[in-house]
């Protein structure tokens, strides 16, 4: 256990189950002689915890490992905060689906102990940066691990926009919007929009139109290093929104441009040794089990 000495703990707010699991983790880590560091927001819900506290963004600077307790949404937020620091992240599922947070609360001590002993696999998941410009000037910059979504916001009206990939014009589309998803996000919103499931190791992006005006508009898979540009048509009467991971957003205006490209820093995601992406798909998506099982 020489490598992981300082363990950051992040938890989803508003859940007693998360707080109970964090208390269990603190006791376990202290018994192992390790140093727990609590995210300041969850620490406020645990008076008398006696542990070091810091801002989530600082955890990458002082921790060797960060454990996120919650659902995939909690891990998405942590990923955006921590990717630049390269600190490895481990997820404990206290949410619903749990494609990213794959340790169950019942096996937390066993699985965390195995990880601390070096028994784990490492995945690199890339993120995307989204830049919105108005009259050539930046008005907003946000990051996503799952997806970037152009949508009408509160107004249920179609959006007209142009799509460029690597500077090449692709099409003008009228639709409810567009989902640009990483492989990580392909099992999230893009899946419900009719997009393909992409293996996490793929270096690719998928573009999924949302209720397009033409039935010939279909998802497109492009190289992960592609630069994408969306140009909001001047003819739009509405002000659409661009959202990242469903958590951060920027309101756009007719004529704005949205540029999307891969972030240089990747998320270092740890899994227990028995992690199996296809098994996770079977469990979470209800795929058929092996005959005879």
Active site residues: 72
* DSSP codes joined into one string, the chain: --S--EEEEEE-TT-HHHHHHHHHHHHHHHHTT-EEEEEHHHHTTSTT---EEE-GGGHHHH-SEEEEEE-HHHHHHHHHHHGGGT-EEEEEE-SSS-SS--B-GGGHHHHHHHHHTT-EEEEEEEEEEEEEEETTEEEEEEEESSEEEEE-TTS---EEEEEEETTEEEEEEEESEEEEE-TGGGGTHHHHTTPPP--TT--EEEEEEES-SSTT---EEEETT--EEEEE-TT--S--EEEETTTEEEE--TT-EEEEEEEEEEEEEEEETT--HHHHHHHHH-PPPPTT-
Residue 204 in contact with residue 185, Cβ under 8 Å?
A: no
Residue 178 in contact with residue 148, Cβ under 8 Å?
A: no
Q: How far apart are CA 257 and CA 262, in angstroms?
A: 17
Tokens 């567009």 belong to which residue? 178
């Amino acid at each position: 256990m020489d490598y992981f000495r300082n363990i950051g703990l992040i938890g989803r707010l508003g859940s007693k189950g998360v707080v109970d699991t964090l208390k269990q983790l603190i006791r376990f880590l202290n018994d192992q002689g390790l140093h727990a560091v609590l995210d300041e927001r969850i620490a406020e819900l645990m008076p008398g915890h006696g542990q070091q506290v810091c801002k989530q963004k600082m955890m990458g600077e002082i921790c060797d490992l960060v454990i996120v307790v919650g659902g995939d949404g909690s891990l998405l937020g942590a990923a955006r905060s921590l990717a630049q620091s390269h600190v490895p992240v481990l997820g404990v599922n206290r949410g619903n689906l749990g494609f990213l947070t794959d340790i169950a609360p019942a096996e937390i001590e066993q699985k965390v102990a195995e990880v601390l002993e070096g028994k784990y696999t490492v995945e690199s998941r890339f993120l995307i940066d989204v830049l919105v410009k108005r009259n050539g000037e930046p008005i907003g910059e946000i990051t996503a691990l799952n997806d970037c979504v152009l949508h009408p916001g509160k107004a249920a009206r179609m959006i007209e926009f142009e799509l460029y990939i690597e500077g090449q014009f692709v099409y003008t589309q009228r639709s409810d919007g567009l989902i640009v998803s990483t492989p990580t996000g392909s099992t999230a919103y893009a899946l419900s929009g009719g997009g393909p499931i992409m293996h996490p190791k793929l270096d690719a992006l998928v573009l999924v139109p949302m209720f397009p005006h033409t039935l010939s508009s279909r998802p497109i898979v492009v190289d992960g290093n592609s630069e994408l540009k969306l140009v909001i048509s001047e003819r739009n009467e509405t002000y659409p929104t661009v959202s990242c991971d469903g958590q951060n957003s920027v309101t756009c205006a007719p004529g704005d441009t949205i540029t999307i490209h891969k972030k240089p820093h990747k998320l270092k995601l740890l899994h227990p040794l028995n992690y199996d992406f296809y098994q996770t798909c079977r469990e979470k998506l209800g795929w058929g089990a092996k005959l005879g099982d």
